[in-house]
């Protein structure tokens, strides 16, 4: 599968509608981004079960800001709509393969349970803070 360009309008839908989505935040003037592009493209051909998306940080400045991008390239991985990995810097082929394998191997029942626990703690903490 080839990489797909993501816009602000398509971002949430893409992340929610696919099991695994990798997103490369990049810019045309960024040397490390240009070096990472062939590695990312090759991985997209090797893993047709994963959506490999790209966000041009120059064209999609609001999306980049909303994602908290402060350094490029930045790679994010989403599984079942949950951000499970985010790291700036160009990865070598082996590093990218490690990330893909780790994301595929995640126990998502455990991830969702942990998210639910954190949300409960936040709500409890907020209510406690309001009462004090």
* C-alpha distances out from residue 83 to 43, 46, 59, 62, 104, Å: 20, 22, 22, 18, 13
Residue 132 pLDDT level (bands cut at 50, 70, 90): very low
Q: Is the model's pLDDT at 131 over the cut of 60?
A: no
Q: Express each pLDDT in 78-109 by its tens digit.
A: 999 999 999 999 999 999 999 999 999 999 99
Query: How confident is the model over 19-32, as a mean pLDDT?
Result: 97
Domain of residue 58 covers 4-106
Residue 90 forms part of a structural domain: yes
Domain count, the chain: 1
Residue 127 forms part of a structural domain: no
CA dist 48 and 106 (Å) reads 18
pLDDT at position 127 is 58
Residue 96 forms part of a structural domain: yes
Residue 122 pLDDT level (bands cut at 50, 70, 90): confident
Residues acting as catalytic residues: 30, 33
pTM to 2 decimal places = 0.88
Residue 130 forms part of a structural domain: no
Query: How confident is the model over 13-30, as a mean pLDDT?
Result: 96
Mean predicted lDDT score pLDDT of the chain: 92
Residue 62 forms part of a structural domain: yes
pLDDT at position 128 is 52
Residue 11 forms part of a structural domain: yes
Residue 53 forms part of a structural domain: yes
Residue 128 forms part of a structural domain: no
pLDDT at position 123 is 85
Q: CATH code at 9?
A: 3.40.30.10
């Amino acid at each position: 599968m080839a990489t797909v360009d993501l816009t602000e309008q398509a971002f949430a839908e893409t992340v929610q509608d696919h099991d695994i989505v990798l997103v490369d935040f990049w810019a045309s003037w960024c040397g490390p981004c240009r070096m990472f592009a062939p590695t990312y493209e090759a991985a997209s051909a090797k893993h047709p079960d994963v959506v490999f998306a790209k966000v041009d940080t120059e064209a999609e400045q609001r999306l980049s800001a909303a994602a908290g991008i402060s350094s490029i390239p930045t790679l994010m991985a989403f599984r079942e709509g949950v951000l499970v990995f985010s790291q700036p810097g160009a990865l070598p082929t082996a590093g990218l393969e490690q990330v893909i394998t780790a994301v595929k191997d995640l126990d998502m029942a455990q991830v969702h349970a942990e998210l639910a626990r954190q949300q409960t703690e936040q709500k409890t903490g907020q209510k406690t803070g309001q009462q004090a």
